[in-house]
Structure 1
Amino acid sequence: MIDVLVVEDDFMVARIHRGFVDSVEGFRVVGTANCGEQALTAVAELEPDLVLLDLYLPDIFGLDVVPRLRTAGHDCDVMVISAAREAEAVRRAVRQGVVDYLLKPFDAEELKDRLERYSARRGDLCAGTVSGQADVDRALGRVAAPTVAPTLPKGMSVETSELVERALRAVDGTLSAAECAERVGISRVSARRYLEHLTVTGRAAVSLRYGHAGRPERRYHWHGG
């Protein structure tokens, strides 16, 4: 079991992230902190294996927490979860040895994928020695990303894909699967499948809209050329 500390200043977001983590097999949240000082205290008390670290904390910038953890002798891993898109923040995170950097907003599946990859890399280093370069590359996260096939997945048509793409490109802002389905004249499930395919191939981007209750709504906007 991998113990996780969630560091997030928004208590509602922290609760959502806690639910996301607890739903992933092999992971459990052992505590939360809403500022940098609380994070340092919580790591000392709870000794988590992994810290999910927001950067925009009310007292100190999140990346300033990492060197203080190391100075105090804590060897927990750190995964940044933040809306910070500044290149310098990403470079600092890399220099400080964070295991991953996930941009907000994201959904449960995106975090689940990151956590499972982290768990696999962690498992590669459980033995006293590595068996070869492949193990080292996996531990450093240097596994090549899978290439996206140029053809549509089975059951999807070029004609419908073009209609969905046209609807997405025409909208000024974002579009939900339900809104896309109404514009194109297909089911919401089919619309979401085509929209997700556009996202996977890099021609669309997805954001999450959080409401007062229930699951966040996935909204899409055109991202291609």
Structure 2
Amino acid sequence: MHSYEVFIVEDDIRIAEINRRFVEKLDGFTVCGIALNQEDAKEQISILHPDLIILDIYFPDMNGLDLLRWIRSEFRGIEVIMVTAATEAETLTYALNDGVFDYIVKPVVFQRFKQTLMDFKKYKSSIYQLSGTKEINQSIIDSVIKKDKTDIDSPVLPKGIDRITLDKILTILTNEIDGYTAEDLGQLVGVSRTTARRYLEFLVTENKVSADTSYGGVGRPERIYQYNK
């Protein structure tokens, strides 16, 4: 099985290590290096020629979008996934215009991270299969270009569901085996119980979360939400 080399550019060593662990949980991927600044990133990329780069935007010595443009001008075959706290629409537009494979907002949910790397693997496999094809039709083009993602991973979410809040809730739920009530989760995320319940019920409809009814200390039923592993 082919193994894809992933290079991580992130100035926070703790987050870089989390990204490394996420990558190495997945079959077919290895981390070939980590850079914490622009100079080191350019030097290592020039030497290693990785298949995929995980790139942040905010750095003390650079803007990740500038590094993205450099990668695009020097190494057209390297794909880039932005993993960043930047949520400005303008930043996303610039990244998309410069050809990022995907754009993931921190804090990173492993399932979302996994999905984009699986999409990358599928995309590269499709490109490889084209090498022996002389002519292509529209169905072949669509199979290469289209990314099959669930609604929860789509840039367009239902009204009242914000991507950042949704990712925060998912991050908390994935780290808790016993689950949370809407009230508990709302306090952790910093939203009202009603708002937390709205997000949780959305996740239930997406089959990302299950809900069981138990009884609280005052004898009233309370829904406990758990992440579906």
Q: Does the Cα contact within 8 Å between 1:50 and 1:76 map onto a contact in 2?
A: yes
2:30 match: secondary structure: strand
Q: Does the Cα contact within 8 Å between 1:44 and 1:74 map onto a contact in 2?
A: no
**Deviation at residue 11 of structure 1 after TM alignment:** 0.2
Q: Does the Cα contact within 8 Å between 1:56 and 1:82 map onto a contact in 2?
A: yes
Match of 1:180 in 2: 181
Q: Percent identity?
A: 31
TM-score by length of structure 1 reads 0.65
Describe how 1:1-225 pairs up with structure 2 within 5 A: 1-73=3-75, 75-126=77-128, 127-128=130-131, 129=133, 131-143=136-148, 145-146=149-150, 178-180=179-181, 198-199=202-203, 201=205
**Deviation at residue 79 of structure 1 after TM alignment:** 0.7
Q: Does the Cα contact within 8 Å between 2:6 and 2:52 map onto a contact in 1?
A: yes
Q: Which runs of 5+ in 2 are unaligned?
A: 153-167, 185-197, 209-224
1:31 match: secondary structure: strand
2:61 and 2:77 mapped to 1: Cα distance?
A: 23
Over the residues paired in the alignment, what is the CA RMSD in angstroms? Answer: 3.2
- The Cα offsets for residues 144-189 of structure 1, whole Å up to 9 and x where unpaired, read as x5569xxxxxxxxxxxxxxxxxxxxxxxx97866441897xxxxxx
Closer, same or farther in 2 for the Cα pair 1:94/1:201, shift >3 Å? Answer: farther
**Deviation at residue 140 of structure 1 after TM alignment:** 2.5
Closer, same or farther in 2 for the Cα pair 1:89/1:199, shift >3 Å? Answer: same
Total equivalences in the alignment: 170
Closer, same or farther in 2 for the Cα pair 1:200/1:44, shift >3 Å? Answer: farther
- The Cα offsets for residues 106-165 of structure 1, whole Å up to 9 and x where unpaired, read as 22222111100111011111122474323323433354x5569xxxxxxxxxxxxxxxxx
Closer, same or farther in 2 for the Cα pair 1:141/1:100, shift >3 Å? Answer: farther
Q: Which runs of 5+ in 1 are unaligned?
A: 149-172, 184-193, 205-219, 221-225
Q: Does the Cα contact within 8 Å between 2:9 and 2:54 map onto a contact in 1?
A: yes
- The Cα offsets for residues 63-104 of structure 1, whole Å up to 9 and x where unpaired, read as 100221233345311111111111111111111111111111
1:147 and 1:16 mapped to 2: Cα distance?
A: 25
2:83 match: secondary structure: strand
2:34 match: secondary structure: strand
Q: Does the Cα contact within 8 Å between 1:85 and 1:103 map onto a contact in 2?
A: yes
1:125 match: secondary structure: helix
